[in-house]
Structure 1
Amino acid sequence: MTSGLMVSAALAEESSVSAQYGEDFSLNIERIQITGMNFNNYKVGSASGAMRGDIDLMDTPQSVNVIPSFVTDEQLATNLSEVLVNDSSVTGGTEKWNRQVFNIRGFELASGSGFLINGHQQFSHYVQPIETLQQVEVLKGPSSMLYGQSGPGGLINMVTKKPTYDRLLDVALDTDENGSTRIQLDAGGSMNEAQTMRYRTVLVKQDTKYWREYQDDDAVQERDRFLGYLNLEFDLTDDVMLSLKYDYTQDKTGLDSGAWLDDNGKVIGSRDDIWDMSWAFTDNEVQNLGADLTWHISYDWTMKTGYNHQTFTRQRLDSSPRLMTGSKNPFEDGYYLNAFDRHDDWQHKTAYIDFTGELSGFGVEHKLLIGANILDYYYGQMRQDGEKNQHIMPGESVPRPDLDYRNGDISSQSKYKHYGFYIQDLMTINDQWQVLAGLRYDEQKREGAGQDSYSVSPKFGVVYSPADNGSIYVNYSKSFEPQSIVTSDNDVNEGMNLDPEYGEQFEIGTKWELFDGGLMLTGAVFDTRVTNVTVREELAQPIGDKDFITTQSGKQRHQGFEVGAQGAVTDNLFITSSMMFLDAQYITSAEDTAQLDGKTPVDAPKWSANVWTRYEVTDDVALNFGAVYVGERFANTQNTIVKEGYVRFDFGAAYNFAVNNVDMNLRLNVKNLFDTDYLDGGTNTDVTIGEGRHFGLAFEVKF
């Protein structure tokens, strides 16, 4: 703290001298790194996504949770689902088709508008790589004022690793009892003596063998993934920095569309059974190419602008298994396959420009944000269908069909452009009171659909600090989430244009820093309401080959509270934990959805909680203990099928040592220590089965 005050005083003195003598002083400020003996890796003080700038979380009138990579590295996390388990307000949905669906405070995150990378909207219809991430920020509640189209539950902002001034070279290998392997290389440093050119690169090769088996040849599901990431920084002048980023992901895996549940919520067949054919696969190729420019215009004003082009193509050869109409016993009645070969092409082009600055007026300090952003979206699909409703029996082998999407036509194509303009002011009235006010205007122009959308999204918050280490806040915010068209081929309303969903939220919360700022405690109470809700329901009796119907009618209201703790409890004990209570309901009156009135959305438990701890036994040995609790959830929109609640316990141990002055780390983790049977996210037709006791072993070398 003393060093920080000295730096601030030095800057203030330089500014005063500049003003006094009218000289044009350079903004080239010496970089000072302050470290301590007990570095707190569990607590992060700011979230860049919450306010579109690095503003202290204590001054942010919003519930935000930051999950640092240090914690997820301890947990040997390999995907975003294993990262977000550290926030109880986030629950998982289906994981079929090698993608991951999430809900925040009971609202599903849309793959096109619920995810950000460094503030850029990222189309996330695949398993996001996490090895490139410095931290993951869970922004809770509507964030449309800053980011435009987004859902009422919140956003996930993934912050990537930055180049380093000093040399960095880490090599890591991890494996598990199934024979999976993952090799990682993380390197960085300066490219010239003046350290004005820096880089960071990450390379990952992963071969995963899953525990579930295909019935046609007893083979296990496998995944082959390669990731390459490069970030370059150039100090063009003392005041201007250019950052160039590129990443490439190739991710191919066999398909597992999940398990089926009977009317009592029990798994049909064995927990190991994969109903897809072993020849079914999905092959994703994702590229991001972007640039960001930061210009420190003056001591008080900064301009940031950036562009990102995401190209995401996917081939999916699908066997598409489903139960026969009215059957819950495929071992007697058999089941259907509906094979097809499909190619999807998504193009996301995003750009933004932000001006941030500080000024004083009428005795009030202002932190201003003025900006604009744009999203240019394209989607096209080519598809060829095979035999429909091909009847087979469990264990029966079906040859790979002779299908090629290139022999089909473009079955769907859509384009739109989204523009947004916003202004935000964080006003510091005195040492105890701050007021946040913001307003945004959005337009979405959808080509050929006649579904243009417009919205004005306000945000208002008040922060009261009764003590230096605590704050109490209230906020009001709105969400605006345009919908596209119904694209599912087994939906009665396929091709129907959908109107935007609108949400608003009231939240009151508090944040406290204890133990000299080492531990942060948070709490929030929220009330979120959404109108024009899109609901997809399974039909009681199929209409032809259509099993589902999508409609828009009625409202949702989600109320609840959450608490959290993150940081150091003692010099040797660290913790990150959270708990949420949620009361989520549909409120409908229209005739076609009246049966949902008072029902709870899928995968929205009343209670959920998590904890992960680190106890440093010595300077070289550390132990971890974790637990995840998820209460009862409904597996269908009619609330007739229940997934039981569960508690999962995890354990870890790490040993640090050195060989010839090279630092090394050996880690053993056991997930689901007591081999608990449980059901994870998904509906009664695509539920994810929780894995049993799972061992992971990792070895890391830091050169």
Structure 2
Amino acid sequence: MVFKYSVVGLAVGSALMAMPVLAEVPNDANIERINVTGRTFNNYKVGSASGAMRGDIDLMDTPQSVNVIPDFVTDEQLATNLAEVLVNDSSITAGTQRWNRQVFSLRGFELDSGSGYLANGHQLFAHYVLPIEILSQVEVLKGPSSMLYGQSGPGGLVNMVTKKPTYERLFELGFDTDEQGSTRFQLDAGGAINEAETLRYRAVGVKQDTEYWRSYSPLPGEQAEQQERDRWLGSVALDYDVTDNLLLSVRYDRTEDKTGIDVGGWLDKNGNLIGGRKQIWDMPWAFTDNSITNLGADIAWQISDNWNLKLGYNDQQFNRQRFDSAPRYNVNAMDKGYQINPFDRFDDWSHKSAYVDLSGEFELAGMEHQLLLGANKLDYGYAQLRTSGSSQTVMPGVAAPRPDISYTTDTSWSNSEYEFYGVYLQDLISLNDQWKLLAGVRFDEQKEESGNDNAISPKFGVIWQPQQDLSLYANYSKSFVPQGKVNDEADLNNNQELDPEYGTQYELGAKWELMDGGLLLTGAVFDIEIDNRIVRHQLDTPIDVPGKKSITQVTRQDGKQHHKGFELGAQGQISDSWFVTSSMMYLDAGYKTADVLNGKTPIDAPEWAANIWSRYQVTDELALNFGAVYVGERFANTQNTITKDGYVRFDMGAAYTFNISGNEFGIRANVRNLFDTEYLDGGDNQKVTIGQDRNFSVALEAKF
């Protein structure tokens, strides 16, 4: 226990370590088209987040908790997926990673793969391991954001901002590998295509082969195999200045990603792993094969000095084959074996989003206004083919042969679709030099076969800036998530249309810039409550219905869920040579329902979490890194009878850069989990991700 709180203290200390006696550093983080090198350039701090207010508004003028994670930091960490990026924000905790996708919770609420993620402000279907090599920064927007984006959860959103075309010539090659034998090759190129620089491009290519550290049981007569992954990524973005005031942007990216399936570890009633840390319960022939394309275009028109019009469209197509062994949890698996239930299925998702935003600045009644008027729309479609094989019992240590099944034998598509649209109005009003007021409202409607849902989502915020480098704020915001209808013949309210689930947040926060703007300290206290949570009540006496199932339950929306807590953060430069990004969160989360969940805590909602990553610039050529991640004790099941111990993981790294014939080269070496700590990551007791042992990686980079 003593060690637990010392780790929390580490994060608190990192957030408060800025001292007035330290050297002052200019804040150059947001200057565009300037290449700055040298030890005083502040790569750790970002001054604005485009997703928080649907525009590049300074974080000091944003009455909301927002954390921006720049690609410079995640490149230092040799991050290969979104989980390794989001570990830099302690308000986000990881969930399961089965089926080659990643699940996260923000402030204790799970982010839905259909409404919890944005790409450049467009809703993205994030049912796969999202590519991070095309991103310039990741923005964590905390608290309800339905006023701007429609249906979304109460914890917040993750907005991924992609790399933009460059004016200057850019050509970078990268390679990294680790002790497991994984490899990743990267190309990042950009520049002006014509002499006038009115047509520019950015191209990214990635080839990744991953060797995971866990192993499958072998087929009879064969050797055990590690889980493997084969991924290709290609991305192209073009910017064209049609006129001095009109910009057309077009982008395309495609991901091909095939990997074996690892549902994760199983825990017994005491929270201990069943089998070894390297035991994969899935069969070695199980896999997922994803193919995802995004094609989009945006138009930005500078109507006048004060007014802008933006339009955008994105078409996302996602196809997946999932050939699954579907192992079934069995606490006695090591002695009595366990069942697999193989099937082959094909999924076809379609996400088409569009928006139009009119923004402007004007003065009215002696007050300055930053007005946003907009609308957005999403069309969602889904279809599935599926064929199942026979169940069988297998013993650990020997895999069952692959069944002869194929989804192509299914001739009937299973379909679902919906569309939603919303209109919104937001105004950031500068009452005077010290006070700002934010007011916004949105109307949404979702249309689907089960019925229509609509909602009104308000948001209010106030900012007090007693001095230029200090902002104190308060906000009130709401979220909503449509719930469809009851679909259970054993339910008294079968076929009844359900109301949306509403979330309400109150937040107080502070943002303080020190070191001449080079270091940003943040703090926030939040209180979020969900209403209309679905609760299924069991009837004391079943109701017999002639010719139908007996009615044994009734569905009502009388449940609540309440999360409250606080966060601290620090990001930027604290001396000429020392840079840091860190955060911590305290969370008190629980259900308020009339069923077995009453008073329980959600899975993967730790009371305490903290992280720190820092860089010390020894010379202009040599930099050292140190990092730590702490996640407190969490529950692994809804009944709160199984817990996962808290853990702390330490990471280290070093980088050296040098020049040859005017070209910059770099080499980096990192050690993750330096002290080889055994820990359990996200997921419940039947699909928990097991933390990897100590792992060494090295990367090479060349800039021409």
TM-score, shorter chain, exceeding 0.5: yes
Alignment of 1:442-521 (within 5 A): 442-446=444-448, 448-450=449-451, 452-483=452-483, 499-521=499-521
Task: Give the aligned length.
Answer: 656
Distance change (3 Å), C-alpha of 1:289 and 1:670: same
CA distance in 2, matches of 1:494, 1:163: 53
- The answer for the alignment partner of 1:248 in structure 2 is 254
Shift of residue 39, structure 1, vs aligned partner: 1.5
CA distance in 1, matches of 2:536, 2:98: 17
Opposite residue 276 of structure 1, the aligned amino acid is D
Opposite residue 580 of structure 2, the aligned amino acid is I
Verify: 1:91 aligned to 2:97, yes or no: no
Shift of residue 395, structure 1, vs aligned partner: 1.7
- The answer for the alignment partner of 1:110 in structure 2 is 112
Assess if the C-alpha contact under 8 Å between 1:380 and 1:410 holds in 2: no
Cα RMSD for the two superposed structures: 2.4
- The answer for the alignment partner of 1:351 in structure 2 is 354
Verify: 1:182 aligned to 2:189, yes or no: no
- The answer for the alignment partner of 1:268 in structure 2 is 274
Distance change (3 Å), C-alpha of 1:127 and 1:498: farther
Distance change (3 Å), C-alpha of 1:141 and 1:535: farther
CA distance in 2, matches of 1:203, 1:331: 44
Shift of residue 409, structure 1, vs aligned partner: 4.1
- The answer for the alignment partner of 2:236 in structure 1 is 230
Match of 2:584 among 553, 563, 579: 579
Bigger relative CO (Cα 8 Å, ≥ 6 apart): 2
Shift of residue 411, structure 1, vs aligned partner: 5.7
CA distance in 2, matches of 1:78, 1:256: 18
Distance change (3 Å), C-alpha of 1:127 and 1:536: farther
CA distance in 2, matches of 1:255, 1:34: 43
- The answer for the alignment partner of 1:526 in structure 2 is 526
Verify: 1:340 aligned to 2:343, yes or no: yes
- The answer for the alignment partner of 2:547 in structure 1 is none
Distance change (3 Å), C-alpha of 1:194 and 1:510: same
Shift of residue 568, structure 1, vs aligned partner: 0.1
Shift of residue 532, structure 1, vs aligned partner: 2.6
Shift of residue 501, structure 1, vs aligned partner: 1.6
- The answer for the alignment partner of 2:302 in structure 1 is 296
CA distance in 2, matches of 1:553, 1:378: 31
Identity %: 63
Shift of residue 333, structure 1, vs aligned partner: 1.4
Deviation string, structure 1 residues 459-490 (Cα, Å, up to 9, x no partner): 000000011110100000000112457999xx
Opposite residue 366 of structure 1, the aligned amino acid is H
CA distance in 2, matches of 1:2, 1:580: 28
CA distance in 2, matches of 1:483, 1:376: 17
CA distance in 2, matches of 1:486, 1:44: 45
- The answer for the alignment partner of 1:19 in structure 2 is none
CA distance in 1, matches of 2:291, 2:26: 47
Assess if the C-alpha contact under 8 Å between 1:600 and 1:639 holds in 2: yes
Distance change (3 Å), C-alpha of 1:611 and 1:667: same
- The answer for the alignment partner of 2:431 in structure 1 is 429
- The answer for the alignment partner of 2:387 in structure 1 is 384
Match of 2:333 among 330, 343, 347: 330
Assess if the C-alpha contact under 8 Å between 1:383 and 1:409 holds in 2: no
Shift of residue 319, structure 1, vs aligned partner: 0.1
Distance change (3 Å), C-alpha of 1:511 and 1:71: same
Match of 1:419 among 415, 418, 421: 421
TM-score for both structures, normalised by structure 1: 0.90
SS at match of 2:623: strand
CA distance in 1, matches of 2:678, 2:349: 37
Shift of residue 552, structure 1, vs aligned partner: 6.0
SS at match of 1:674: coil
CA distance in 1, matches of 2:259, 2:302: 45
Shift of residue 33, structure 1, vs aligned partner: 4.5
SS at match of 1:257: coil
CA distance in 1, matches of 2:478, 2:580: 33
CA distance in 1, matches of 2:32, 2:473: 34
User: Structure 1: which 5+ runs fail to align?
Assistant: 6-29, 538-548
- The answer for the alignment partner of 2:48 in structure 1 is 46
- The answer for the alignment partner of 1:647 in structure 2 is 648
- The answer for the alignment partner of 1:72 in structure 2 is 74
- The answer for the alignment partner of 1:12 in structure 2 is none
Verify: 1:666 aligned to 2:667, yes or no: yes
Verify: 1:394 aligned to 2:399, yes or no: no
- The answer for the alignment partner of 2:196 in structure 1 is 194
- The answer for the alignment partner of 1:309 in structure 2 is 315
Shift of residue 36, structure 1, vs aligned partner: 8.0
- The answer for the alignment partner of 1:603 in structure 2 is 604
Verify: 1:559 aligned to 2:561, yes or no: no
Shift of residue 558, structure 1, vs aligned partner: 0.2
SS at match of 1:516: helix
SS at match of 2:476: strand
Distance change (3 Å), C-alpha of 1:550 and 1:666: farther
- The answer for the alignment partner of 2:19 in structure 1 is none
Assess if the C-alpha contact under 8 Å between 1:171 and 1:186 holds in 2: yes
Deviation string, structure 1 residues 624-673 (Cα, Å, up to 9, x no partner): 00000000000011100000000000000000011222100000000000
SS at match of 1:49: coil
